[in-house]
Amino acid sequence: MAEKIEDILEKCLERIFKGESIDDSLKAYPERAPELEPLLKTGFALIRKSPTVQPSPEFKAKARTQLQGMLAAKSEEAEKRPKVPIWHRKWAVAVTAILAILFAGTGAVVASANALPDKPLYPVKLAVEQV
């Protein structure tokens, strides 16, 4: 299977950052060079310039204000939600377990209705008939 262009681009950019030239990286993938060259040049230019891009103080202040507002709204939302006591959750687990056992037992009784003496559910059938 042919290697994806994304993977090749990543490998070539890593080689360039280790000191290899763009042309040397392209020589490693001659069949993909026409497609790869503009991507490498653009990617390298973007990464080279990225450390110089800094947000303005106004942008930082606005972003901080928005973030604080969102956090405050989330905490208010959390406070409005009804809190369920831990014992409610424990009771819910216990009731769920009891219901699961009852359903499993009922299933065994129903399944044993046609059991013959040589079947594993026959003792269940006998026990139900004696009740």
- 81 within domain boundaries: no
**pTM reported for the whole predicted model:** 0.37
**pLDDT tens, 60-105?**
999 999 999 888 888 777 677 777 777 788 889 999 999 999 999 8
Residue 72 belongs to some domain of the structure = no
Q: What is the Cα–Cα distance from 40 to 5, expressed in whole angstroms?
A: 11
- Structural domain count, the chain: 2
68 lies in some domain: no
Quick check: is 67 in a domain? no
Q: Which of 12, 38, 11 is nearest to 25 (CA)?
A: 12
For 29, the domain range is 5-52
| Residue 43 contacts residue 11 (beta carbons within 8 Å) | no
Confirm whether 114 is domain-assigned. yes
Position 71 scores a pLDDT of 87
- 41 occurs within a structural domain: yes
**What is the rounded average pLDDT of the residues 21-33?**
89
Q: What is the mean pLDDT of the chain?
A: 86
